[in-house]
Structure 1
Amino acid sequence: MTALHEPDTADQTLTGNGPLADARTQLREATTLLGYDEGLHQMLATPRREVTVSIPLRRDDGTTELFVGHRVQHNFSRGPAKGGLRYSPDVDLDEVRALAMWMTWKCALLDVPYGGAKGGVRIDPRNYSAAELERVTRRYTSEISPLIGPERDIPAPDIGTDERTMAWLMDTYSVQQGHTVLGVTTGKPISLGGSRGRATATSRGVVHVAIAALLSRGIDPADATASVQGFGKVGRYAARFLAEAGTRVLVVSDQYGAVHAEGGLDIVALEAHVDATGSVVGFAGGEEVPADLVLEAEVDLLVPAAVEGVLRADNADRVKAKVIVEGANGPTTPEADRILAEAGALVVPDILANAGGVIVSYFEWVQANQAYWWSENEVEARLAERMLAAWDSVNAAATRLDVPLRTAATCLAVERVAQAHQLRGLYP
């Protein structure tokens, strides 16, 4: 069963809590500063298309369980939609709407010719076998297949999904089309048209920008200290690359707990421990500490790389880091943003900081469409060039307009999307 939703309009822009309210608040601030009228604001705030699907799963023991999945396509003005697919027990439609909107701004800010999209299935993948997750993925793909494709909407991995998930998605779509379509998804295995450097691209982008942000505050990355919240796709490699740059990572956390070492954690050893046990908890090279310490540690750099809404009005005043670089999407609420700004902290927003993944996803899509693959050095060099150019433009705009980096980044991105919309005009 497939249910098409009438897109939710933005007259609730400043009401409610959660990521969608945060995304709408950020957009309202940007459209006000840009002087856009209410009609244009509503167009930018409202998803272009949404679909909700039911996903029946035949479990390995023969029983049947039903899940709900979503795909939100926020904007197509600058190109096909692009965005991850998330498997999490916390997935809901408003979260997916917010993430799709942020993807629109992220693609525009980095000048990638995409609009924003996002997908999600409300499921805890830790409780299901690989065969069960494959069946969920294939059913979800078959339900949304009329809306996706290399020229329509290109999914990618997110929380709870990986390159194997993308291989299943690509295969299911290809079977329906009658031929192999490598460009329908990114984040695939190398042997199925994936790009070298894609798995670590988001983390590399985070660290490129983190180093630039530290230097802008007169802090030498080789003498800096850091804490990293989350040790998954983004946090794990961000911690590794920070350590390689000479930064001492003092605290790392995951969903089970946190570990701390005064002289800096041995990240290579911590990775081996996590591979063996599934968690940072119990790592012999550090002491177990309360999970909140990762956000409140006495460090130069904080990288929240887990989920949305972890920096809030009730804890932002305890953050001691001078630079916060958002590895996750939406980790800082608007109220926390104001508190951190008043404290003099520099917050590098998600649509800039964690855009490395979508940049290399774009590279993968280009390579798949050309059937020609680049070397890892080419990918890394082009990623660094894009990330640092975006940092320079956002930093310059923030200085020129005398606004925080988030406001500057959102204004630059929204303006590009609005210009594309206005140039294309309205149909009919």
Structure 2
Amino acid sequence: MSMNALTATTRNFRYASRLLGLDAKLETSLLLPFREIKVECTFPKDDGSLKSHVGFRVQHDNARGPMKGGIRYHHKVDIDEVKALAQLMSWKTAVMNLPYGGAKGGIDCTPNELSKSELERLTRVFTQKLHDVIGTNLDVPAPDMGTNSQTMAWILDEYSKFHGYSPACVTGKPLELGGSLGRESATGHGVAISTEALLNDHGKSIKDSTFVIQGYGNVGSWAAKMIYEKGGKIVAVSDVTGAVKNPNGINILELSLHRGKGRKLSDFNGGETMDPNDLLFQECDVLIPCALGGVIDSYNAGDVKAKFIIEAANHPTDPEADEILYKRGVVILPDIYANAGGVTVSYFEWVQNIQGFMWEEEAVNRNLHKYMKQAFNDIKAMCHTHNCSLRMGAFALGLERVARATVLRGWECNGGEGGNGGKKEGHQWLRLRWMVKKKDEGLGMEFVYY
């Protein structure tokens, strides 16, 4: 059974905290969310009856800038999942060195059971409940599982009714409403860039490697397209309708045309149908899970045959599975880096909206490549400093940057709420001064008591 996402994420956080040697009180402050919001979203259905769904928004940290994170519509959305994803966003934006904190939201609904007009009414009610605590300089939502650019357009319109036209209040919008060129493909594009960086670091290349992609949605399809264009051989893919394999390589252009006509993946004649449950265990060089979290756990990790795993999904590998695979020599590129292309181009969109000046797609893609490559180099440097895995290197990098920003802003504890804006209770205070030591051992902390 897969570990709870919040438990798994917190475990990785604590490992990284120990690696950095953070003070226990600062660690607790960084772990606790800034704000948790739970709202009841009641709206009229097309038949006139009332329907209600629970919505969540967890704002984890804002030490480095406005909080940032997607909104997902899925029937399994719950507060623990949203808290885990919000925390991951804090470390992800820091890993990419974006001036953001982390947040996440969701509604426990099944989108395909609602009409377009019902989805619009649900989204507008959700926005009405949140509009005072989101916005350009507070918390900037984006699309996620079950939502898209149309959803963001509704949020923008509803938010603007209260605050005036505010295109930078949300990203992932349609181009006509201030969206960015390259945003739709951004996460998949980032996956392809990060995959190439990892393979090159190991003396390999995309064109000499075989790939298996689980989840042929927006992220998986764009990643597959870009890997295919670079000469990679994709031997198996899956989505919610089924799975197809072809040891000689699947023609991704033909598959995209097939899926673009609304046809099922399982009906594609460019390969042999297979059980989607077996996809993770196919022979390949690189496995790219792009679907739900927790798909690789301690029970099936031993059956994974890939040499590299690129985590395009959020939290696809449990910590126990991570340890098993690490001991087997499987190299895992963690989600807080591998799927960060989306939030990076969301940042570019936010910047364009604030400036009132839109970029050409070539500029978006060029800057995405620059940010992804720099982040990979930063992670590798952290791995070298602490002699750790890529996951711990990425977590340590993100955590170190958030911790530094928190301390520089005047972090205080001992009776307060912790984090940003703790109340001054009691007479003794612990202040931590972050000291950057220009030595091989990397970063250290100096504790100063008053």
Counterparts of 1:309-324 in structure 2, within 5 Å, are 309-324=294-309
SS of the aligned residue for 2:37 comes to strand
Native 8 Å contact 2:20 2:400 kept in 1: yes
SS of the aligned residue for 1:174 comes to helix
In 2, the alpha carbon distance for the partners of 1:297 and 1:63 equals 48
Matched, 1:373 2:381: no
- Corresponding residue number in structure 2 for 1:231: 216
- Corresponding residue number in structure 2 for 1:212: 197
Structure 1 stretches of 5 or more lacking a match?
Answer: 1-15
Matched, 1:136 2:117: no
Select 1:113's aligned residue among 83, 99, 110.
Answer: 99
Question: CA offsets, 1:255-288, max 9 Å, x none?
Answer: 2321111111111211222222353121111111
Counterparts of 1:209-358 in structure 2, within 5 Å, are 209-277=194-262, 279-358=264-343
Identity %: 44
Counterparts of 1:26-41 in structure 2, within 5 Å, are 26-41=12-27
- Corresponding residue number in structure 2 for 1:7: none
Counterparts of 1:95-110 in structure 2, within 5 Å, are 95-110=81-96
SS of the aligned residue for 1:369 comes to helix
Cα-Cα RMSD? 1.1
- Corresponding residue number in structure 2 for 1:420: 405
Native 8 Å contact 2:74 2:110 kept in 1: yes
- Corresponding residue number in structure 2 for 1:71: 57
In 2, the alpha carbon distance for the partners of 1:381 and 1:424 equals 32
SS of the aligned residue for 1:139 comes to helix
In 2, the alpha carbon distance for the partners of 1:70 and 1:252 equals 32
Select 2:41's aligned residue among 55, 65, 75.
Answer: 55
SS of the aligned residue for 1:277 comes to coil
Supply the AA of the counterpart residue of 2:381: A
- Corresponding residue number in structure 1 for 2:149: 163
Supply the AA of the counterpart residue of 1:282: D
- Corresponding residue number in structure 1 for 2:183: 198
- Corresponding residue number in structure 2 for 1:182: 167
- Corresponding residue number in structure 2 for 1:44: 30
The aligned length equals 412
In 2, the alpha carbon distance for the partners of 1:317 and 1:58 equals 49
Q: Which runs of 4+ in 1 moved over 3 A?
A: none
How far off its partner does 1:417 sit?
A: 0.4
In 2, the alpha carbon distance for the partners of 1:208 and 1:160 equals 25
In 1, the alpha carbon distance for the partners of 2:255 and 2:278 equals 18
Q: TM-score, normalised by structure 1?
A: 0.95
In 1, the alpha carbon distance for the partners of 2:46 and 2:264 equals 27
Structure 2 stretches of 5 or more lacking a match?
Answer: 413-420, 425-450
Q: TM-score, normalised by structure 2?
A: 0.90
Native 8 Å contact 2:3 2:294 kept in 1: no
SS of the aligned residue for 2:261 comes to helix
In 1, the alpha carbon distance for the partners of 2:152 and 2:228 equals 30
SS of the aligned residue for 2:213 comes to strand
In 2, the alpha carbon distance for the partners of 1:389 and 1:37 equals 28
How far off its partner does 1:140 sit?
A: 0.4
Supply the AA of the counterpart residue of 2:37: V
- Corresponding residue number in structure 1 for 2:370: 385
Question: CA offsets, 1:357-396, max 9 Å, x none?
Answer: 1111000000000100110000000000000111111123
- Corresponding residue number in structure 1 for 2:70: 84
- Corresponding residue number in structure 1 for 2:8: 22
In 1, the alpha carbon distance for the partners of 2:263 and 2:295 equals 22
